[in-house]
Structure 1
């Protein structure tokens, strides 16, 4: 089995929703043989979903990850490269490139473009493989940048990396010793910075679109009511935490 696919499969099976579904399946299987354990499995699945879907919980799971690095501000020295890590898209010729990008890729692209306005001297490096789509993500992000007026000659494309580790390995030789801004989503930034450090590259983090905003502001009652979006946020925090554990063990 392909190692990349295996990692994704294991990660999917360890997500909160997947665990809840497995518990519900277990409850159904045990219904006829052990009502007590069937009830316990079903109640555990329900409690897991309710707790992890609550904004108060999801924010506190995510905040320590995202607070590792502040938002990017104009740097005191010139920037050589703005590296935008890959995320995802769906090719559809009827849509403009920005609409073909998945939210994570669009968020990273917009943050990279914002930084280029602060540092017009910088060149871009976009990365990301196709992963089942006819167009590599790196190419689609380049097209989106060009639709904002960025010249094609200022954008280098790395269209082969399938994950963050491969991105750091392929991009590092080009940027080593340079002033490099690394753009990825805020929750993904700590793991990404570590991968580049392992390749001998000290990057300037530029976290995009954090999940947690206004944590210290006063909240109304809805902040304590389960929401689908909060479960998604919890899943991202869960995934990044597992990724950092694997990264620590393997490095």
Structure 2
């Protein structure tokens, strides 16, 4: 709106209208960046699934979804470059240590179809080896390009059996869409949310001190909510806001498994 206001001011005789539009746009950006709007939007996503509690029962396997490595930068700089979702990898390493008998799966191809860059899972495997994780414990899934394909390709790769307990590691704000995708393909997993962006309810009242931080948080939440809407409309999840108790009906799950 601010850009539109500037165009109106410069290209038309309606300077006051343009000034009002530009001022409104600037005020809107400042409000969205300073008020905790981004936290309001992302908090429900992060709270949807509770933290994992170990009840002593054995864990069959641990799945971590890609998104923690900057593949392009890693290739360009010839070193491992992590991003803000690095907690996924650290949690994966910790769980691998805590459950030495569990199968380990890194799920993630290349998010850009047709890219010549190596799948993230390949790069991640080399990185995990440098951290001390034995390569023979790792299974990598490299065909997926998005969350839905993560679920489908991982299911096809590991062929889970009834009664097995698999942990799914991903960012807390991404967990609803991830869990919905896995449920829809008939792969029952246990959520292990990490990479929280908020400190809890107190952040719902705490304004941001830097506009760009607030806008970045809002952008992240908005993209995830749009992803949830898109996945529901396309049948990739069985609910608009997947959560405990929103598992797909048996007929829906069978249809998804057939795909």
State which of 211, 217, 229 in structure 1 corresponds to 2:213.
229
Q: Is the 8 A contact 1:112 1:183 kept in 2?
A: yes
Structure 2: gaps (5+ residues): 236-259
User: For residues 96 and 227 of structure 2, what CA distance do their matches in structure 1 show?
Assistant: 30
Q: What pairs up with 1:126-205 in 2 under 5 angstroms? A: 126-130=106-110, 131=112, 132=115, 134-173=117-156, 174-177=158-161, 178-205=164-191
User: For residues 128 and 249 of structure 1, what CA distance do their matches in structure 2 show?
Assistant: 24
The residue aligned with 1:101 is: 82
State which of 21, 46, 53 in structure 2 corresponds to 1:41.
21
User: For residues 140 and 224 of structure 1, what CA distance do their matches in structure 2 show?
Assistant: 35
User: For residues 101 and 170 of structure 1, what CA distance do their matches in structure 2 show?
Assistant: 24
Q: Is the 8 A contact 1:81 1:175 kept in 2?
A: no
The residue aligned with 2:92 is: 112
Deviation of 1:92 after TM superposition, in Å, equals: 4.5
The residue aligned with 2:244 is: none
Distance 1:85 1:224, change over 3 A: closer
Q: Is the 8 A contact 2:33 2:215 kept in 1?
A: yes
User: For residues 151 and 120 of structure 2, what CA distance do their matches in structure 1 show?
Assistant: 16
RMSD: 2.4
The residue aligned with 1:206 is: 192
Structure 1: gaps (5+ residues): 1-22
TM-score by length of 1: 0.79
Q: Is the 8 A contact 1:84 1:184 kept in 2?
A: yes
TM-score by length of 2: 0.77
Deviation of 1:61 after TM superposition, in Å, equals: 1.7
User: For residues 144 and 203 of structure 2, what CA distance do their matches in structure 1 show?
Assistant: 40
User: For residues 172 and 92 of structure 1, what CA distance do their matches in structure 2 show?
Assistant: 29
User: For residues 152 and 187 of structure 1, what CA distance do their matches in structure 2 show?
Assistant: 29
SS of the residue 1:91 aligns to: helix
User: For residues 35 and 102 of structure 2, what CA distance do their matches in structure 1 show?
Assistant: 38
